[in-house]
């Protein structure tokens, strides 16, 4: 039976696969601090799933459990998806490089660039809200711009996190690329059916919308630093 004609569970199954990846990563993280970091960030990131009505149907229009996306704009899958990517992104760097967290000394927090700590934290949501109200850009482009500018603000405020941010961006892009290929393999034609290719660039890379890859890159760049930025922690490479 051709699965392309039965797409109603594709979004749910795809998010379950992502949760499986999350579970594997969580199980392989040895540091209690990193496990705590992963879980806390996942829980907070899951709230981003509530923004789904901004993207449905302007960016895509997926069949979802109980047909929630079509009827309300909200869906369960988006919350699960946001939960998983948030936790994965924040610890990917630590899976490659053995790292340790340590609190920043109080005197270091008073450095000149830390005067903009709060503004740096608010940069991404403020940019997203401002562009949403002031422009007619597709919400996926607004998201990418907000994440990039939020990441640049973080980089200015916390230059010690730049290596983690850049490496995490590339790592998550690679992981998301492979992950997206599973959707294409299981549901050929699903992208053309569900994504509003006429409302975005229409450019596909190995069948993946360019905008999905831009989102992965920008999300990995910005979100990988949120735990350290909010909690005034530094990341250092462990010497074995």
Q: Are 219 and 172 in contact (CB under 8 A)?
A: yes
Whose structure tokens read 């290719």?
197
Q: Please compute the mean of the pLDDT values over residues 74-100 and round it to a whole number.
A: 91
Kindly indicate the confidence band of residue 6, based on its pLDDT and cuts at 50, 70 and 90. Answer: low
Helix (H) or strand (E) holding 130: helix 117-134
Best CA proximity match to 202, nearest among 147, 140, 131: 140
Q: Where are the beta strands (DSSP E) in the chain?
A: 99-103, 204-205, 208-209, 233-237
Total tally of structural domains belonging to the chain: 1
- Residue-wise pLDDT for 110-150, tens only, equals 566 667 778 888 899 999 999 999 999 999 999 999 999 99
Domain that holds residue 41: 3-237
- Residue-wise pLDDT for 183-238, tens only, equals 999 999 999 999 999 999 999 999 999 999 999 999 999 999 999 888 878 887 66
Copy the structure tokens of residue 151.
């990441």
What is the pLDDT, as a whole number, of residue 111?
A: 64
Assess whether pLDDT exceeds 80 at residue 35: yes
Indicate the range of 29-43, 81-95, 126-140, 168-182 predicted with least confidence: 29-43
Indicate the range of 20-29, 102-111, 168-177, 214-223 predicted with least confidence: 102-111
Output the pTM of the full model: 0.90
Q: Please tell me the distance from the alpha carbon of residue 33 to that of residue 30, in angstroms, as a whole number.
A: 9
Q: Please tell me the distance from the alpha carbon of residue 73 to that of residue 48, in angstroms, as a whole number.
A: 13
Q: Please compute the mean of the pLDDT values over residues 30-38 and round it to a whole number.
A: 86
């Amino acid at each position: 039976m051709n699965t392309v004609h039965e797409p109603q569970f594709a979004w749910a199954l795809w998010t379950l696969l992502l949760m499986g990846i999350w579970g594997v990563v969580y199980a392989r993280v040895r540091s209690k601090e990193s496990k705590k970091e992963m879980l806390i960030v996942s829980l907070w990131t899951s709230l981003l799933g509530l923004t789904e009505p901004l993207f449905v149907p302007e960016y895509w229009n997926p069949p979802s459990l109980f047909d929630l996306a079509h009827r309300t704009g909200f869906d369960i899958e988006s919350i699960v998806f946001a939960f998983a990517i948030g936790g994965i992104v924040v610890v990917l760097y630590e899976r490659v490089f053995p790292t340790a967290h340590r609190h920043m000394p109080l005197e270091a927090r008073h450095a000149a660039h830390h005067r903009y700590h709060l503004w740096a934290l608010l940069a991404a949501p403020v940019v997203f809200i401002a562009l949403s109200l002031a422009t007619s850009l597709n919400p996926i482009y607004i998201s990418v711009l907000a994440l990039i500018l939020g990441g640049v603000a973080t980089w200015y405020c916390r230059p010690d996190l730049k290596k983690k941010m850049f490496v995490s961006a590339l790592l998550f892009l690679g992981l998301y690329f492979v992950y997206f290929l599973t959707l294409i393999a299981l549901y050929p034609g699903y992208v053309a059916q569900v994504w509003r290719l006429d409302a975005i660039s229409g450019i596909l890379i190995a069948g993946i919308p360019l905008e999905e890859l831009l989102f992965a890159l920008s999300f990995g760049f910005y979100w990988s630093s949120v735990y350290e930025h909010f909690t005034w922690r530094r990341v250092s490479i462990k010497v074995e």
